[in-house]
Amino acid sequence: MNVIIGQNAKELGIEAGKKSAVLIRQAIRENGSANIILATGSSQFETLKQLILEEGIEWNKVTMFHLDEYIGLPVSHKASFRRYLKERFLDQVPELKSVNLINGETDAREECKRLGDLIYKSPVDVALVGIGENGHLAFNDPPADFETGEAYIIASLDNECRQQQVNEDWFGFVEEVPKQAISMSVKQIMKSKHIVCSVPDIRKAKAVKDSLEENVSNLHPASILQNHPDCYLFLEKSSASLLTKKEDYGEKNKNN
Ligand code: GLP
């Protein structure tokens, strides 16, 4: 795991966005195209802001997959992740080769199968992900299913996850947050050739510590990233504040 600790969320996003762009350009150079996964949530704000500014990405050679979406939430709702990606990414870059958003308003099992068939044919080069306050990766809340071979699954959201969405003001109260989502599975995320994980904010400090310094366990879903061969974890001072082994994470962090 490559851990990069920035001074603040802005700097984290700039570094994570730049790294994502380097990896996308590299995939296009090597294969003529790139397959990417985009996440949403507040953790991706600054990263996506930087990614859309990056020059020299042939977006018409990029196929996008979507990490997770609530079941039953209309695209007009401010918490809709399709809406989020449209406003913060798709409307900001030239047309992509292909866009595979998750429709949470149709038959969820059929939608998982449809997207699963597409992603099986499209090995992912770069996945942008975040870590939730409860340590989740996508909507794989603890205890996460580390075993399923399905690419997309129907996930139940736990109370901590639903409360986080209210605290971030995506919803007015917890009863309004859907109880289920379509989520990319942990195994599918781990198949990505490169992973860029953006985790700002003091609220994530405990989840970051558990993910990096506890043993890999489905009780800390993002701890699985320790097993990935090319994962870049972008933190900032506050989200990294509980780490006790910073010196083990590389040259770049000596001054933090
Ligand atoms: C969220 C989103 C994911 C994101 C992850 C962490 O709930 N559904 O796409 O990667 O969980 O992000 P955040 O804590 O910013 O919501």
pLDDT tens across 30-71, in order?
A: 999 999 999 999 999 999 999 999 999 999 999 999 999 999
Listed residue (176, 180, 147) closest to 69, CA to CA: 180
Measured distance CA(105)–CA(99) in Å, rounded = 17
On whether residue 85 sits in a domain, the answer given is: yes
CA of 40 to the centre of ligand 1 (A): 6
Please state the domain count of the chain.
Answer: 1
Query: Mapping DSSP to helix (H, G, I), strand (E, B) and coil, where does residue 137 land?
Result: strand
On whether residue 244 sits in a domain, the answer given is: no
Identify the pLDDT of residue 251: 46
User: Do 141 and 131 contact (CB within 8 A), yes or no?
Assistant: no
On whether residue 253 sits in a domain, the answer given is: no
Residue 145: domain span: 2-202+212-239
**CATH number of 195's domain:** 3.40.50.1360
Which residues form the pocket of ligand 1, taking CB atoms under 6 Å from any ligand atom? 39-43, 67-68, 129-132, 136, 138-139
CB neighbours of residue 41 within 10 Å: 21
On whether residue 45 sits in a domain, the answer given is: yes
CA of 143 to the centre of ligand 1 (A): 16
Kindly list the averaged pLDDT for each block of 10 residues, start to end, along the chain of length 256.
96 98 98 98 98 98 98 97 98 98 98 98 97 98 98 97 97 98 98 98 98 98 98 98 82 48
On whether residue 197 sits in a domain, the answer given is: yes
On whether residue 255 sits in a domain, the answer given is: no
On whether residue 245 sits in a domain, the answer given is: no
Measured distance CA(247)–CA(50) in Å, rounded = 28
